[in-house]
Chains A and B, each alone.
Chain A
Amino acid sequence: MTVVSTAVLELEGIDVFYGRVQALRGVSLHVDQGEIVTLIGANGAGKTTTLRAISGLTPAAAGRVLLRGEEITRVPAETIVARGVGHAPEGRRIFSRMTVLENLDLGAFIRKDGARRQDMDRVFTLFPRLKERQRQVAGTLSGGEQQMLAIGRALMSRPKVLLLDEPSLGLAPILVETIFQVIREVNAEGTTVLLIEQNALKALSVAHRGYVLETGRIVKEGTARQLLDSPDVQKAYLGV
């Protein structure tokens, strides 16, 4: 009897190299439908690389990436977006010389249906601040607003899975709160989320499950509760 997997996203033994340097060593993880899964780890552990391997920006040298059971390991990045993976990349990477509206519009680049307006309204409901600044040039937004825009832009492709790379990085505590609230809302509306964070406490407080990455390897996995209670995790990442 076959077990029907509910995994939306699965990584099986992913290796990634930058030139000769191996950044990921046999990373396996899965993200199930409707979950928020977080990947925590120190600088240089391979968190960003894992996301880039999924979204096709840095294709894996070995292993498989499966999206709803279909292999996307060597599929080009733009096709992966069309298949339903939205990526808000590290460092936000908004189009800083374009307006908020133009940024959101490019987020819906792959979409050919006429529901852009509707999706934009949804982004504006999630981030009322973006609505106020829709005609403003993105580079003149504050860091928090730029992060909102990066997430909003990724949502414009109507992803099944949303990959978020350190959304709280460099933000004021009040904005971190806003961002995490939105992550919860987006998830509650049915989007599966894979979240990378250095702020492990915050990440584990919204996530259902988590993985700990150390020097390119998954060293621990469990429910958010288990990880929060784990002495190793507490010592290394929670500063307890």
Chain B
Amino acid sequence: MSRSKGGLLERLAQLPPKSLRAFATDTRVPGIGLGLVLVLFPLLDPNKSHVNVAADAGTFILLALGLNIVVGFAGLLDLGYAAFFAIGSYAYAMLASGQFNIHIPFWFLLLTSAFTAAFFGVLLGAPTLRLRGDYLAIVTLGFGEIVPRVFKNASTFTGGVNGIVGLDQPSFPHVLGFPGYKFGFNPVPYYFLILAILLLSVVLISNLRDSRLGRAWMAIREDEVAAASNGINTVTTKLLAFAMGAAFSGFAGTYAASKLFIVSPDDFGFVVSVSILVMIVLGGMGNLRGVIVGAVLIFFIQRYLLIQLPGWIAALTANIPFLASVDVAGYVQRSNYLIFGLILVFTMLLRPQGLIPSAQRKIELELGTTEEAVADLRGSA
């Protein structure tokens, strides 16, 4: 009897740690935990402005995921990605506002904006197919400058410098006995909307990455000539990268424009393109988790840290006699881009492969660069 009791006790003693360990090492657990936090946070946090910032961060996560297809997967350096964001935003603004008195429902435009942006993606992609690396970057840079300029100057259609104000806000119609619901200026429904869009996008993009097309992108990124000699159609593959990448910025544009209530040509400049690029490089090009972390981090630094920092400094220095007379907070405020730059420099020095690198990126750093594979483009006799 005592033997069996001891056995039972032993088993009981073993049970909790074992299951705890299983719980702790199960990779799904952090995922579910994070999911719960993301869903519950706007309901628990009474501060609407936090929800608002989170909902805006979602726009940039979406943009970073889209650009990652072009730069991270296919290796095409795009410095004008904000142009597609602009196209997505303006497409919504023109088709869902008093501008032309056209009021197409938000949900319909959310879907079609992906196609509109993809169409422009192909339009940009087509003339750049023969270019690569630095040369491609310059053309995309030009495109990124042209598009907002066009929106600024075609004032009959776009409202010029003032942009378009008073966009339609999403709402659920009153059907089948369900009461209708208007999003209005409440950030909570926007937050849940972008959360759903992001979830869908991550599923779509990770499937794309593992698909035949995804493998073709990677092959082109590694070596275009080798890709072609393995039967990959480099023209369509590259065009599809531009199109798919742009499609996600179409979603982002529609969402952001409807949330912001206005579009303005100044919101899509070079700084926006570069910020999105920085998000994916710093996070870990090609790795979805890395890209998301990078986007959240950069957005948080730009939209929260750099804005709050002068206030914190002021509070800190107020009680220090000899600093109180000096406007330290003012200095900090004026040099916010310097601080931003320094953060970037140090992050890249400490983590040159990005915060969460893709397998390829890791290998690249271990092997050194693989330029010899890319060098011979014209071929030799």
A residues bordering B, Cβ < 8 Å? 18, 23, 43-49, 52, 55-58, 76-78, 81-82, 87, 89-91, 93-98, 102, 105-107, 109-110, 137, 139-140, 153-154, 157, 216
Contact = CB atoms under 8 A, between A and B. Distances in A.
B225 A95 contact: no
B380 to A, nearest CB: 6
Shortest beta-carbon contacts, A-B, top 3: A81-B231, A110-B231, A93-B226
B378 interface: yes
B231 A82 contact: yes
Contacts of A140: 367
Interface string B364-381: 100100101100101111
A44 B381 contact: yes
B229 A57 contact: yes
19 contacts: A46-B381, A78-B232, A78-B233, A81-B231, A87-B229, A90-B376, A91-B373, A93-B225, A95-B219, A95-B223, A97-B222, A97-B360, A97-B364, A106-B230, A109-B219, A137-B363, A140-B367, A153-B230, A216-B381
A105 B379 contact: no
Given A90-B379, A91-B376, 5 more contacts: A44-B380, A76-B235, A81-B229, A102-B215, A153-B230
Interface in B285-313: none
A95 B226 contact: yes
Interface in B324-381: 360, 363-364, 367, 370, 372-373, 376, 378-381
A82 B232 CA distance: 10
Interface residues of B, number: 30
B216 interface: yes
Interface in B211-226: 212, 215-216, 218-219, 222-223, 225-226
A77 B380 contact: no
The interface centre, meaning the residue of B229, B233, B360 with most chain A CB atoms within 10 A of its CB, is B229
B158 to A, nearest CB: 40
A160 to B, nearest CB: 14
B123 interface: no
B228 interface: yes
B23 to A, nearest CB: 31
Nearest to A94: B226
Contacts of A77: 228-229
A47 B381 CA distance: 6
B228 A57 contact: yes
A105 B222 contact: no
Contacts of A23: 381
A198 to B, nearest CB: 12
B234 interface: yes
A48 B215 contact: no
B223 A93 contact: yes
A106 B370 contact: no
A90 B367 CA distance: 21
B381 A97 contact: no
Contacts of A56: 228
Contacts of B225: 57, 89, 93
Contacts of B380: 44, 48, 90
Contact of B370 (A49, A52, A87, A139): A139
Contacts of A46: 381
Nearest to A52: B379
Contacts of A98: 218, 222, 360
The interface centre, meaning the residue of A58, A76, A106 with most chain B CB atoms within 10 A of its CB, is A106
B222 A95 contact: yes
Contacts of A52: 379
Contacts of B379: 18, 48-49, 52, 57-58, 90
A154 B380 CA distance: 20
